[in-house]
Amino acid sequence: MPQKGDAGFKTVLNLLRTLGPMKFEVKPKNNKDGDGFVLHPFDRIDAQTTHLNHMFNAVFFLPMHVVKKALTDFGKKKKRS
C-alpha cells in the first residue's frame, strides 16, 4: 500500500473502498455437501489496517498446484536432516 501523499495512494484507497464491502458466496450444487461459505476480499484489522484475506487469495490468485501442495502438506511434520 502506498503511503499517504504518494502518487498511487488515492487510486489504491478508492480500490479498497470499492472492493471492501464485496462478498463472494460459495454454495455447492448438492446440499449434502454442506451450506457453503462466504469470502470477503479483505480483512479489516482496524481503521488504518487492512489485509488481503488468505482464503480469497488462494481461491482467486494462487496457482492451483500451490494451493493443493499447501493443503496436502498442512499438518505434516517435516523430517530434519
How confident is the model over 25-68, as pLDDT tens digits? 989 999 899 999 998 888 888 877 778 888 888 888 889 888 88
Please report, to the nearest 10 degrees, the dihedral formed by the alpha carbons of residues 54, 56, 57, 61 taken in order: 170
Distance CA 56, CA 62 (A): 9
Distance CA 42, CA 23 (A): 9
Range list of H helices, the chain = 9-19, 54-60, 64-73
Distance CA 60, CA 54 (A): 10
pTM: 0.57
For residue 22, pLDDT over 80 is answered with: yes
